[in-house]
Each structure stands twice: as C-alpha cells, then as structure tokens.
C-alpha cells in the first residue's frame, strides 16, 4: 500500500500504530479469537485519524501493509484499500470517547455463544468475579458489570445508532456484544484494550461454564 | 516416491501443489483436527489430475514424498503408492465443480460429535451467525446454511452416490459431514478451502456449545 | 528497580528466587491461568523475607525487575514498588508454615468456576482420583482431599482471619479457593508448589467435567 | 544413572529405546496428558527386558537418564533407580503379548473423567466412529470396541490379576482404563502405540461430548 498521509499526521506515528496492531492481531489470532479472516483492530493516530486493519485478511498473517489510515468518519485516507465494513463502529468510539486510543473486535467461541444466549435479554450482567476489577474503573467484585448485546445487522448505521442511544442514555459502556457475531471493547491505549478484552473473554467463558453446571 | 508425471502436467505445478498440501496438513494437524493419521487433503493440478495425500501417514509429519498424483477417476499416476480409500470423494468434487482447486477432509472433535448428533436429521442448519459470511456466496447471517450429514459406510461408491444425488437435486453444497467421521469442504484455491474449513469448524463448535447451554 | 537488600539477605539468593518466579510466571501464563494481569507468585528468600511479584504486571511478560522483596509482615524492603494487595495471603503462609518455600496464586477458568459452584458448601471434597497422590502426604485415591472455598472480599484482613481460623482449628490445608477469584497453593520448594498447582487444576477441571455429565 | 546392562542387551538398543521414550514423553506432556509428574512409558528392549521411565519425574522435562532397564518381572537391572510402582502393568503386557514393543500410560482429563463415568458399568463400548479403524485389527466403524474399566487400587497385584483374568477369558484387549486414574494402551512399535493412544483419547473425548449433548 503506498500510503499518502495527511501532512498533519507524522508518518512515524502511523507506522508505530500499524506495527502495534500487527503484533496484537498475531497474538489474538494465536488464541483462536479471529477465525476465518474475521475480526478487526484499530488505534487512534491523532485527534482526527485512526489506523485500522484492511478488510478480509487472515489476522494471523498480517503485515504492515494490511493496516490503513481512515478519518473519524471512516473515509480511507491516502490509499485505495477498502476499510472493513465495520470501520464505522471503531470511529464512533474514537469520536465519542476522546481518551480512547485502541479498539478491538474479535469473534471467539465464548463471545459468539454468549451473544446468542443473552440476545433476548439484551445484556449480560457479570457479578461476583474478581476479574471484573481488570476493567478500568471497577474496584470490587460486588458491583454489576453490564455488557449490552445488540441485534446483528448487515446495515452498519443501525448498529451505530444503537451504540449512540446507549451512550446518550448516559449508561456505562466498557464493551458490547453483537448477537451471533462477537465483541467490541477498547482502552486508553493498546495495553488497556487488550487487558479489557482478555478479562471479558475470561468472564464470558466462566459465565458459560457456570451456566452448564448450575442448570444441569 | 519416484513420480512419473504425465507429459501434459508440468512437474513444477505438481511440486507447488505438494508443497502447499504439506504446509496445510501441518497447520491443521497442529490444531488437532487430524487425529491418529486420519484426514486427507488434495489440490487440483490441471483439468484431469489432482495431487493428494498418500494413505495412512501422520498428517503432522508429512513430507513432499507423501503426496501423490491421481487422475480424476482416482487412479494413481506414475507411482506405486496407494491413494487414500477416500480419494473418490475428492475426485468427485473436482469432476463436478470445475472451479474447485482444493478439497480438505478433517476429523475434529466438533465435526465428529456434530455429525453424530445431527445424523438422524440428515443435515445441520446454521443460522444467525456472522461467520456464515466466510462461506463464499453467503452475504448475511440471516440466511440458512445447510450442511448435509450422510451415513458412514466403508463402501465409498455409496457415499459418492449420495453426494451425486444431492448435487443432481440442484441443492447448494458448500460442505458435507459423514456420520461419526468428519467433514469435507473445498474452495477455488487452498486459501478459500481453508477459510471454509475454519469457519465451519467454528460454527459447528459454537452450535454444540449453544446446544449444551440452551437445553440445560 | 534499584533494590537495596537487607544486609542479612544475600543478593544472589534474591536473584535466584526472582529468576525462578519469572520463569514460573511465564509458564503458568502460557497455560492461560493468569488472565488480564491477574495472579501473583512468591518464594521464601530467608526466615524473614520473601520475593514476590509487583502488582498489576502481565504475568506472561515479567522481567526480574517485576519481582520485589517484602518482609513477612508484607512491607516492601529496599524499593518503592507496591507489592500486590494480596501479599498478606502469601506472607501468612510463610509465617505459619516455616517449611514452605513457594506460594502460587492463579485464576484459571476451572479454579474460578469451581470456586463459584462450591462457595455455598464452603469446600470442595475430592475423592477417588489417582492424582490426589500428587499432593504431598496423600498416598491413596481413597482418602478425601478437602479444599476450602472462602468468600471473596476486597478487605484482605478478613481473608487472613479465615485462613488463620482454619489453621487454628488444626484442619489439613493444602490449598484454598476464594469465591469467584482463584486458588492459593504452596510447597516446600517451587517444584512441589507447581506440582500441587498442576494437580489441583487437573482435579478441579475433572470434577467440573464429571459434574456436567453426571447430572445431565 | 550409571546403567550396567546385561551382556545380552546391546547398549545401543537400550539407548535407542530411551531416546524414543524421552521424545514421546515430551510430546504427550505437551498435550497435557501427563499432569503433575504422572504417567509412565516403556519400550521392549529384547525378549526379557524393557526400558521404562523412572518414578516421579516431570514427563515434559525427561532426559535419557530418567529411563531405566527392568526385566519382565519388573526388577531394576544395573541401576539403583526405583522403577514406577506401575511397572508391573507394563511388564505384564510384554510377557503376555510377545509382539508388543511399546506400552503407554497417560492421565488426560477425558481418560480420567470417562473412567469415573463408566466405572460402574465396568467397560466403555465405542461404536459408530470412523476413528475406531485406527486401532489395529478394526476395519469398520460398525463393530463394537470394548475398553474395560478396572477399579483403582494402590495394590498393583490386584490390577495385574484383573488384566490376567480378562486376557485368560480370551476377550479382545486393545487398552484398559483404571477408575479415576487413566489409560493403558500399547502397540507393536512406538508409532502404533501412539496411534492407538491418540485415537482412544479422541474417541473418549467425543463420547463425553456427545454425552453432554444427548442427555441434556
């Protein structure tokens, strides 16, 4: 990709973001959370731009040329590559949360199954797990961590609207699931986004295991 | 294997296919989808020939001499090696689908268990999973993806007949399971065949997990 | 960390402990038992000191500077680093069990789920498993191995009191679970502590699997 | 270990067996089938001797000095090392089956859980799985493969008697489980023994998964 960066975006910063995304994508692919070229990852480059994975590549085998620049309306900048159809969900978070530095979307088995199981309720409520404290701002296992489950759609603006409605209602939002699809989560930097993703994967997986045992 | 290739088949093309099959077999063995020397893999070499794994080898330790040439009637070409008993199922797909470039057959736990569970119904119907879109031609999670489950037999012509009957009826066929046995899937090239296999493994695994939770 | 060791603690011994903790942390992180920077590990340095992991680091990526010295009241020695909030649970074991050389605390899925499932009963009773013999002092699968499950709390002294009460009652204690949280176990040296941890993880995991099958 | 071999046993053959056992132990430990120093492995050296793992070592970190020579009555030959308490179960198979070249005993989760679940029935009956054909002499998924489950005991002669009684009754025996403990299987050479072990692990695991789904 011959990437032509806007003059206000230092190339070196884009490069550092691209490198970090590639490294993260390989690690998450190694965990089996990005089956069959699914999933997408991004980092904020500056106030108006983000670096994001190009659509449809095998996330275990990404190179730096598989990362592209977009503005926060989701337009490709300086490249003919097509950004992921779900770019709008990444840029929405960067627009609404100025401190967010990285957004991760994966498709693990636990994420997908939990989203189906709790779709009718519209949310999963996590309580009583020490690892809830891995989510920034949570300081006890006694609080309830609510993760909404939005209906899936191939029409991205519908999903953007649902996330906007949740945020506009002033409800806490650390992550959300899409029914039959996967999870979105984020953090101030890539390390925090990864910690959130790892903790949520663990919590969802535990909740499913407990469900098999409690109701049997 | 001293392989004597037909004059119309460039040796270099057979070699490239053999190398790709060996690489794929190692990766799939690493996922645990080829237990106890099971599974077989092939690639189309030209309009009339395919390269396929020799019977009974450990799929995690294949070398290029473990790949042989067959014609599309399943006859060994230029070698005394014995092709897999299931070669007929590979060549059938190449004969009936001229665009298909690779066929994969594996035996994961999810594939085997799903085949037993849905054998009486004769098919698995997948719906509501975003990852259905990883199958070529599927563009929404809302459609139903039907994967037939055929009864197992040690007599290959019976299986060939069942697959022919399904195709002759004009029904879509992206993959099929054999009861207690495993999955067959394919693609225009090896990358597509692997994406189909990975997506189907994930979908079957999710469906089984959901089954444990929904009915409990 | 510029660590100033007390004059009675040979620096070389602290270094050897730190190196062993780092190696162990990497191996346990590789098994997925330390999600999202959770878990902590320690080794006894001498009669009055222990080496322990600094709070909040990714356990798969520890270096020797992520290990600090504490006295057995849990005070940091010769460093400004903050020891884990759970340091008191490590030093309690070293104080009460003079032979103990290593304490391990992890958060695997099986440990977390088992702790939730058996919290109401207050203990898990393991019986009939050959691997119970991997716990020092156990010489038959016929005995009952009791692992208490203590309620979780963010106030460490409460947990310390519960462990003290158990020990003061003279009951055997090889390990304990904290509800929704994870396991603590130990051994005379790191090899024994790891063998105990590996055996308990296996036993809890088997017990959960059996629970899914027996009651269904 | 300064091993003094009997004059009729070429040292080079013992060395080759020891090397193969070490390699196999590492691979099986990597699969998680040898938790907490459990499991033991052997190979026939000649008509009257076998090489076997020394008791109590971590199977993922064996060296050639962790393998010792025994005669087929289970006596250590030319070494002060203590053979595994379960050596008698290995040598029994070599005595009664002159063609057997390797015996493997592991403790996977599926093996342990299946043994508990089917202990009351005294056997597991596998039918309808294509992978049954990976067991030598099995040529169709339609036959029933019977794996006895013997009660566990810390007194080895009782187990030896149970295996003898089974064999004396002329019943086929490809492997056996011990309740709460693990599996024993074997083959004419190490490759066949490993293929049997891998196939049985897969079949037991599938059977358990199917059990969770069928009865729920």
Q: In the predicted model, is pLDDT for residue B116 greater than 90? A: yes
Among chain B residues, the shortest Cα distance to A109 is held by: B206
Eight-class DSSP state of B128: S
Percent of chain B with pLDDT strictly greater than 90: 80
Q: Which has the closest alpha carbon to B7: B38, B43, B49?
A: B49
Q: In the predicted model, is pLDDT for residue D64 greater than 60? A: yes
Contact flag B130-A152 (C-beta cutoff 8 Å): yes
- D1 — pLDDT class (breaks 50, 70, 90): very low
Touching C (3+ Cβ pairs <8 A), the chains are A, D
Mean pLDDT value across residues B50-71: 89
Interface of D with C in 10-29 (CB under 8 A): none
Neighbour-count burial of A50, counting CB atoms closer than 10 A to its CB (0-12 exposed, 13-18 middle, 19+ buried): buried
What is the predicted pLDDT for the residue at D29? 93
Among chain A residues, the shortest Cα distance to B198 is held by: A36
Mean pLDDT value across residues D34-41: 89
Which residues of chain D have a CB within 8 Å of the CB of B215?
216
**Sheet architecture: strand order including A40-46:** A67-71, A49-53, A40-46, A102-106, A182-187, A175-178, A145-150, A123-126
Q: CB distance from C154 to chain A under 8 Å? A: yes
For residue D133, give both structure tokens.
């054909």
Higher-pLDDT residue of D98, A55:
D98
Among chain A residues, the shortest Cα distance to B199 is held by: A36
Q: What angle do CA A34, A35, A37 make, to 5 degrees?
A: 80
What is the predicted pLDDT for the residue at A5? 67
- D81 — pLDDT class (breaks 50, 70, 90): confident
CA distances from A41 to A78, A101, B47, B62, C61 (A): 19, 11, 41, 35, 22
The CA distance from A193 to B8, in Å, is: 55
Q: How many CB atoms lie within 10 A of CB A153?
A: 16
Q: Name which of A34, A85, A86, A112 to mutate to probe chain B: the one with the most chain B Cβ atoms within 10 A of its Cβ.
A: A112
Contacts of D106 (CB under 8 A, 6+ apart): D28, D33, D34, D38, D39, D182, D183, D197, D201
Q: Model-level pTM?
A: 0.94
Contact flag A214-C117 (C-beta cutoff 8 Å): yes
Residues in chain D: 216
Q: What is the Rg, in whole angstroms, of the alpha carbon atoms belonging to chain A? A: 17
What is the predicted pLDDT for the residue at C2? 47
Place of tokens 């230092």: A10
Higher-pLDDT residue of A166, A65:
A166
- A3 — pLDDT class (breaks 50, 70, 90): low
pLDDT tens string D42-61: 999 999 999 999 987 888 88
Closest partner CB to D109 (pick from C141, C195, C205) = C205
What is the predicted pLDDT for the residue at B3? 59
Cβ(B193)–Cβ(B183) below 8 Å? no
The CA distance from B45 to B100, in Å, is: 11
Contact flag C38-A141 (C-beta cutoff 8 Å): no
What is the predicted pLDDT for the residue at D215? 63
Which residues of chain B have a CB within 8 Å of the CB of D129?
112, 180-181
The interface predicted TM-score of the complex, written ipTM, equals: 0.92
Q: What is the interface size between A and C, counted as CB pairs within 8 Å?
A: 67
Q: Name which of A29, A34, A36, A216 to mutate to probe chain B: the one with the most chain B Cβ atoms within 10 A of its Cβ.
A: A36
Which residues of chain D have a CB within 8 Å of the CB of C128?
116, 152, 179-180
What is the predicted pLDDT for the residue at A81? 87
What is the predicted pLDDT for the residue at D5? 67
Give A26 to chain B, closest Cα distance, Å. Answer: 15
Eight-class DSSP state of C54: B
Give C132 to chain D, closest Cα distance, Å. Answer: 10
Which residues of chain A have a CB within 8 Å of the CB of B23?
none
Mean pLDDT value across residues D114-133: 97
CA distances from D78 to D6, D22, D88 (A): 8, 20, 18
Q: Name which of C84, C112, C155, C206 to mutate to probe chain A: the one with the most chain A Cβ atoms within 10 A of its Cβ.
A: C112
Cβ(D4)–Cβ(D54) below 8 Å? no
Cβ(A203)–Cβ(A127) below 8 Å? no
Which residues of chain C have a CB within 8 Å of the CB of D216?
216
What is the predicted pLDDT for the residue at D216? 45
Give C38 to chain A, closest Cα distance, Å. Answer: 7
Cβ(D130)–Cβ(D96) below 8 Å? no
Give D216 to chain B, closest Cα distance, Å. Answer: 6
Give C78 to chain D, closest Cα distance, Å. Answer: 36
């Amino acid at each position: 990709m011959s990437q032509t960066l806007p003059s206000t975006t230092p190339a070196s910063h884009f490069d550092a973001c691209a490198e970090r995304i590639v490294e993260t994508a390989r690690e998450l692919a190694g965990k089996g959370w990005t089956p069959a070229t699914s999933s997408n990852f991004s980092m904020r480059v500056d106030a108006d731009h983000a670096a994001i994975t190009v659509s449809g590549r095998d996330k275990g085998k990404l190179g730096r040329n598989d990362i592209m620049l977009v503005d926060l309306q989701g337009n490709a900048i300086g490249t003919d590559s097509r950004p992921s159809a779900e770019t709008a969900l990444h840029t929405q978070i960067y627009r609404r949360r100025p401190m967010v530095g990285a957004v991760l979307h994966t498709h693990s088995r636990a994420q997908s199954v939990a989203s189906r199981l709790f779709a009718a309720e519209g949310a999963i409520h996590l309580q009583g797990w020490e690892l809830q404290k891995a989510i920034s701002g949570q300081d006890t296992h006694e609080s309830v961590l609510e993760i909404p489950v939005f209906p899936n759609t191939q029409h991205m603006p519908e999903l953007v609207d649902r996330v906007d409605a949740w945020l506009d209602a002033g409800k806490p939002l650390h992550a959300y699931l899409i029914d039959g699809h996967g999870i979105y989560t984020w953090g101030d930097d890539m390390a925090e986004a990864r910690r959130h993703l790892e903790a949520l994967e663990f919590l969802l997986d535990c909740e499913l295991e407990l469900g098999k045992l409690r109701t049997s």
